[in-house]
Structure 1
Amino acid sequence: MSDSKKFSRLTANAKDSLIAQMSKSGSGAGVSRRAPARRSVVAGIPDSMCDFSQLPGYKELKIHQTIAVQTGIMEPYFLCHDGLAKDTTRINGEEYLNFSTYDYLGLNGTERLNNAACEAVRKYGTSASASRLVSGERPPHRELERGLADFYGTEDCLAFVSGHATNIWTISQLLNRNDMIVYDALSHNSIIHGAKMSGAARFSYPHNDYDALERLLSDSRASHKRCLIATEGLFSMDGDLPDLPRLIELKKRFKCFLMVDEAHALGVVGETGHGVAEHFGVDSGDVDIWMGTLSKSMCGCGGYIAGRKPLTEYLKYSAPGFVYSVGMPPAMAATSAEALRILVEEPERAKRIQELGGFFIQEAKRLGLDTGHGQGFAVAPLIVGNSLVAGLLSTAMHKRKVNVLPIIYPAVEDSAARLRFFLSYSHSKEQIAQALAIVAEELPKVRKLATSFSDESASN
């Protein structure tokens, strides 16, 4: 029996166990397969329709939690860190090597950024107090946007209070049912949901398969008014880059807009951290929409769109996620603006990340570990086989005082479950080598343990 089938059997057993537990305890009306659902005063509608515990998604969550308990996997999420999460962190008073931080440039908590934030709080308080359209506009917002526009060499930039919402409301506002959106199959959730909300025809192409993209455009482009091609600048799960020159060629030939999400690429990719355009040596103006987030290299919160003035002006007055949302706290804008200045002044930070990323790939391969599509940047995956193995390995790493989280199905295919390492300017090669050595030591053990769980499940 294959590992995936064994894991499915384990999931089924956990489901039966959960149903039995809930039925025995009397909780969860409507869970029992035999007991008829009680009727509410509205004829034909069972009580379970107003019980959150009966939501299909919640039941699925409880099944996965039951599997975790049965197999000894710790809950890896929502761990409370006692202070700054840098190359090391403290969890419940104990120090861990830390590979679960977006602080790529090692700037979070530095005196320069803290001073920028504190000065902005003294001047503007802790809140923008309203949407920027109403009365929430403050000088740090414009300072940040002007800095990002100059950084990308674009006419303008617009900052949103949420990175996820930046993609959703930009994409859904720019296109409609007469248009089409084509995106890489591994694009971020926010790109996919933005495409869904737009009402446009949606097509995904296999990851970085530009021949497939070309066929899609050849078949469908002429049937739609506008077309948007969306991709990531550094893929958040796999740590690889798109072929930007090929994308630009296709977008020009088929008369499309091109959008690049640089959430993980800003400050990390390119000789001076200017992103994927710098890496490939192309004109940034050939990309119509530069998107990114401020919560990673920029040590703040929110997202941005950089491009031509008509694009940002239209979004400023029409995108619901901007118009009807409170403005970004001025202190966050001031902090990210200062981080951007440091990146420009200290391009060696980007070079350091790339050096560490290259070392990670080299050392992992020396140890026989699978780095997937990783190309040696701040996002470094280790493919381990399936979700059960990934969960057990993350637990084993935690016990060895290394904080690195698993990425499991449905975020990725079950066969591509992984540990995802985030590398920071603060890390040393010695720390990376130590963590990878522990992976190499623990992985055979957890694979053996996972097989025993699956075999036991299959025999029941």
Structure 2
Amino acid sequence: MTSLEWVDQELENLKNEGRYVPIRILETSQGAHVKIEGKEVLNMCSNNYLGLANNPEVKKAVVEAIDEYGIGAGAVRSIAGTMEIHMKLEEKVASFKHMESALVYQGGLLANLGTIPVLVSKEDVIFSEELNHASIIDGMRLSSAKRYVYDHMSVENLEKNLKEHRKEGKRSLIVTDGVFSMDGDIAPVKEIQELKDKYDTMFYVDDAHGEGVLGKNGRGIVDHFGLQGKVEIEMGTFSKALGSMGGFVAGSQKLIDLLKQRARPFLFSSALNPGDTAGVLKSIEIMERDDSLVKKLWENANFLQKGFRDAGFRLTSTKTPITPVVIGDEKKTLELSNYLYKNEGVFASPIVFPTVAKGVARIRVMPSAVHSKDDLKRTLEAFENGAKALKIM
């Protein structure tokens, strides 16, 4: 047996268990309709909430920035990679989020990996939501802080953990997703903020799926709950509703100053490309200008979710446009996804373990502001056809 023969067995196990997910290759720009394997399909699984990934204004801004600043930043931010356009974006993000300052990272995952280990270390303690994103979990591991996991959406269980373990750490951090990407539910941020004050702990919200979706003009979950200035650290991404690439952390000026001295992705990885930076700037400007895209997103989401429920499909308790259609069995979920793609021309990827727990496999349907009503009706009809053909319902 060679040193890598075990890989064959691992792949075979994934296929036998219904957990080997095919990766489709898009041959066109991101949008409501895309081309895969030479045919046009309806795209129902992208995070491009507002359609900004292919927006003409955004594309024009990217091209102009490349003409002015070039393709790459050429260095890490702390040496020679901080460009004027990075500073403009950080000022824009801070203003948009009603925060003193902001720091732009190369991605949302790097924002969590870079920030959490600066906030807490091995002498400290973290209270983490049960269904937090993998990037939060990795950031906590890198911090070496003691970790306690509280039950999903349970303020009561969080307080129980705080009572029992808060004093074990010199510093303390509560960290939660704002919107949970696999279920679509919204963290009880207002109640957590009250516990934060009661137990003298920092509060960190990962709002990757709240940007462009919740709050005034898509400002996110803190704005949604009217808690501006009461949550110390807001993290978000630019790769979903804003249609580009990158991530950020917003907070006090002093916190951002410290992150610039300590955050490893800032210190050891080249800066976000100028084109991506310009694209995000333009996306935020479009969102600030009016809320028509956000309103259209919610209109489409409400229509689609009502249609699924009326047809008898099982959805999660989603409170956002994220629309998880729960099938349960993992092989059946893959079969339905393949049926939709091959027979109905609907691209909707399966979500299976370990992304979600075993037994709750699903197809996460993602409506956007650029889908038409006909697109949504076609999606509902396709799911009904697939469920009947595969005897799922």
TM-score normalised by structure 1 residue count:
0.82
Distance 1:143 1:199, change over 3 A: same
Alpha-carbon distance in structure 2 between the residues aligned to 1:231 and 1:243: 10
Please tell me the residue identity of whatever aligns with 1:435: T
- Quick check: 1:239–1:374 contact (8 Å CA) kept in 2? yes
How far residue 378 of structure 1 moved from its aligned partner, in angstroms, is: 3.0
- Quick check: 1:88–1:98 contact (8 Å CA) kept in 2? yes
Alpha-carbon distance in structure 1 between the residues aligned to 2:147 and 2:49: 33
User: What count of residue pairs does the alignment treat as equivalent?
Assistant: 392
How far residue 351 of structure 1 moved from its aligned partner, in angstroms, is: 1.5
Alpha-carbon distance in structure 2 between the residues aligned to 1:126 and 1:341: 22
Bigger mean CA offset, 301-310 vs 435-444: 435-444
Alpha-carbon distance in structure 2 between the residues aligned to 1:107 and 1:130: 28
3-state SS in 2 of match to 1:384:
strand
Of 70, 73, 87, the residue aligned with 1:125 is 70
How far residue 440 of structure 1 moved from its aligned partner, in angstroms, is: 2.2
- Quick check: 2:155–2:191 contact (8 Å CA) kept in 1? yes
Alpha-carbon distance in structure 1 between the residues aligned to 2:191 and 2:21: 42
Superposed counterparts of 1:250-329, under 5 Å: 250-280=195-225, 282-329=226-273
**Unpaired stretches in structure 1, ≥5 consecutive residues:** 1-28, 30-47, 450-460
Distance 1:53 1:146, change over 3 A: farther
2:327 is aligned to 384
- Quick check: 1:361–1:374 contact (8 Å CA) kept in 2? no
Please tell me the residue identity of whatever aligns with 2:222: A
2:352 is aligned to 408
Alpha-carbon distance in structure 2 between the residues aligned to 1:442 and 1:64: 23
2:302 is aligned to 358
Alpha-carbon distance in structure 1 between the residues aligned to 2:266 and 2:255: 14
3-state SS in 2 of match to 1:412:
coil
3-state SS in 2 of match to 1:122:
helix
- Quick check: 2:332–2:392 contact (8 Å CA) kept in 1? no
CA displacement 1:381-408 (0-9 Å, x = unmatched): 1111121111111111111100000110
How far residue 103 of structure 1 moved from its aligned partner, in angstroms, is: 1.4
How far residue 74 of structure 1 moved from its aligned partner, in angstroms, is: 8.6
Q: Does 1:244 align with 2:186?
A: no
Q: Does 1:202 align with 2:154?
A: no
2:26 is aligned to 81
Q: Does 1:160 align with 2:111?
A: no
Alpha-carbon distance in structure 2 between the residues aligned to 1:62 and 1:319: 40
How far residue 210 of structure 1 moved from its aligned partner, in angstroms, is: 1.0
1:54 is aligned to 6
- Quick check: 2:31–2:54 contact (8 Å CA) kept in 1? no
2:13 is aligned to 63
CA-based RMSD: 1.7
TM-score normalised by structure 2 residue count:
0.96
Distance 1:253 1:447, change over 3 A: farther
Who wins on radius of gyration, i.e. which is larger? 1
How far residue 271 of structure 1 moved from its aligned partner, in angstroms, is: 4.0
Task: For CA contacts below 8 A with separation 6 or more, give which structure has more relative contact order.
Answer: 2
